[in-house]
Structure 1
Amino acid sequence: MFALDVAAHTGPWRSRHPGEKALLSLGLLACAVILPPWPGALLSGLAAAVLLVGPARVSPAVVLRAARVPLLFVATSTVPLVVTVHAPIRLTVNTAGFGTAAHTAGRSVAALTCLLLFSATTPLSEVLPRLQRLGVPAAVTEVAALTYRMLFLLVESVRAVREAQAARLGFRTWRTAYRSLAGQAGAIFVRAFSRARRLEEGLALRGYTGSLAVQVEARRMSPPFLVASGGLLVLIVAVTAAVVVGPQW
């Protein structure tokens, strides 16, 4: 399993209702997106980070591992805001873009932290069935569930093929490495296609009629948690309004 999935299934918030965590995480995400970067997005990101490593007990190493690729994307996306390309080939630094780049990067990192708060505390197996109860078409939730399941099979296939190639000295030189990568792609495609066909045949033999019956464990909303979440969101909005609107008065 992925590190985030392990954290979601083993963390102390595992027994909480997904609606509670959605209210908190998506509420913080809304504050990070709607409110000004300073101090709204900063407060939202800090609150999500503190909740992640504090009450949710998610390891900082797991958070950094899950966030490293999105953070790299954020870093590369801010480069065009501070660098200008002139004809024919000349690069100049746009000092006026540093503020925009900082605001964009800060808001993006805050939003990413809020999303990690939800994904690291809520298993997907508990979210999809409840989405169907909220009116999301069954076809959408089932395709998402099957895709999620196939990801683990794909990662397992990649690991098995790579270990087999490494045992045969498939990565000894650059030439053999390129050849092994090409063979790896072909083998993984064949395995994935075969697994998908077997999955389809298995569903058909079990009388699949267009919807999968999934038993969901009943969970109750916690009023103290909801009140605390709402209070935190109101506090962030109030502090942001005081900082932004206060000096104007």
Structure 2
Amino acid sequence: MLPIDAAAHSSRWRRRHPVDKAVLGLGLTVLAISLPPWPGAALILLTAVAVLLGPAGVPARQLWRAYRVPLGFCVTGAVTLLVQVGGPDGFVALADGGPVRAGELLLRTSAASLGVLLFAFTTPMSDLLPRLVKAGVPAPVVDVALVTYRMSFLLLDSVRRIREAQAARLGHTTRAAAWRSLAGLGATAFIRAFDRAARLQAGLAGRGYDGTLRVLVPDARISVRFVSVSVTLLAVLTVLTFALERPLS
């Protein structure tokens, strides 16, 4: 299980309905994209961090480990706005207004990423996917997503065990040995994936599979109070953004 999934299963908000957390987390994401980047995205970024480390109870180290990957993409995308290719100033030159646009993009994307992480750190996929059927998503699509989600972890676990076995047999001591181990890893993982898929199909057929996977979903109700507080927080952030709005320069 990935660290973010383990954190979601042990989250303080695990027992809350996914709609509660979607209103807050995805609401922050929508505001980060739609509101002016300054001070809107900055306020949303600070709010998301405060909620993640405070009420949601996400450890700071786990948050940083999960956040640094999307943050790297955010920084990479923002850096490209600092330069322009071609033009009278040379093949590569600083773009006019590049720092401002780069800062705005970095604020928007980093704040939006934290909003998504807020939802991901508090909502296990096993709680979310089965409820999508009631939201109108076709049952076969949800079944494929559930099986893919489960098989992904099994495949990652198989790859980890194979690598550990190869390392114990000195399979990574030289470059040639490492390449042989990598080829063996790919072949073994491919075979095991098909074997697990065949066993899963046989198991479902033996249990009378009729096209729908029936799973137990934890009982949870939408909290009117939680949703109301979340909507109020989003409204306050919107009002503060327009009240304090100034150009980023």
Normalised by the length of structure 2, the TM-score is: 0.92
Alpha-carbon distance in 1 for matches of 2:67, 2:214:
34
Separation in 1, partners of 2:95, 2:171? 47
Question: Counterpart of 1:21?
Answer: 21
d(CA) in 2 for partners of 1:155, 1:173: 24
Which amino acid is the alignment partner of residue 62 of structure 1? Q
Displacement of 1:121 in angstroms is: 0.5
What is the aligned partner in structure 2 of residue 182 from structure 1? 183
Alignment correspondent of 1:69: 69
Q: Which residue of 2 aligns with 1:79?
A: 79
**Counterpart AA for 2:216:** Q
**Compared with structure 1, are the counterparts of its residues 170 and 90 closer, same or farther at alpha carbon in structure 2 (3 Å cutoff)?**
farther
The 5 Å alignment of 1:1-249 reads: 1-86=1-86, 91-94=92-95, 96-244=97-245
**Cα shift at 1:115:** 0.5
Counterpart Cα distance in 2 of 1:100 and 1:39: 14
Shift of 1:136: 0.6
Q: Report the alpha carbon displacement of residue 234 of structure 1 after superposing the two structures with TM.
A: 0.5
Query: Helix, strand or coil for the counterpart of 1:84?
Result: strand
Q: CA deviation at 1:179?
A: 2.1
* Structure 1 residue matching 2:103: 3-state secondary structure: helix
How many Å apart are 1:95 and its aligned residue? 5.2
Name the aligned partner's letter for residue 73 of structure 1: F
- The alpha carbon displacement at 1:90 in A equals 5.1
1:80-103 alpha-carbon deviations (Å, 9 max, x no partner): 22233459x954333531211111
The AA in structure 2 aligned to 1:27 is G
- Compute the RMSD of aligned alpha carbons: 1.8
SS of alignment partner, residue 204 of structure 1: helix
Tell me the amino acid that sits aligned with residue 29 of structure 2.
L
Identity across aligned pairs (percent)?
49
Give the Cα–Cα distance (whole angstroms) in 2 for the partners of residues 25 and 220 of structure 1.
18
- Which segments of 5 or more consecutive residues in structure 1 lack a partner in the other structure? none
Contact 2:15–2:218 (CA under 8 A) maintained in structure 1: no
Closer, same or farther in 2 for the Cα pair 1:175/1:5, shift >3 Å?
A: same
Note the alpha carbon deviations across 1:176-216, whole angstroms, 9 max, x for none: 21222122112111111211121122112211111112232
Change (3 A) 1:209 1:119: same
Matched AA of 1:54:
G
Mean Cα displacement is larger for which, 23-32 or 174-183? 174-183
The alpha carbon displacement at 1:41 in A equals 1.4
Question: Separation in 1 of the partners of 2:39 and 2:84?
Answer: 29
Shift, 1:137, TM fit: 0.5
SS of equivalent residue, structure 2 residue 84: strand
- In structure 2, relative to structure 1, the CA distance for the partners of 1:210 and 1:53 (3 Å cut) is same
Number of residue pairs the alignment of both structures matches: 244
Distance 2:138 2:147 in 1: 15
In the alignment, residue 45 of structure 2 is paired with which amino acid? G
Q: Which amino acid is 1:75 matched to?
A: V
Q: Which structure carries more helix by proportion?
A: 1
Structure 2 residues not aligned, in runs of 5+:
none
Letter of the 1:49 partner, please give it.
Answer: V
Distance in 2 (CA, whole Å) between partners of 1:38 and 1:110 is 11
Indicate conservation of the 8 Å contact 2:8/2:124, yes or no. Answer: yes
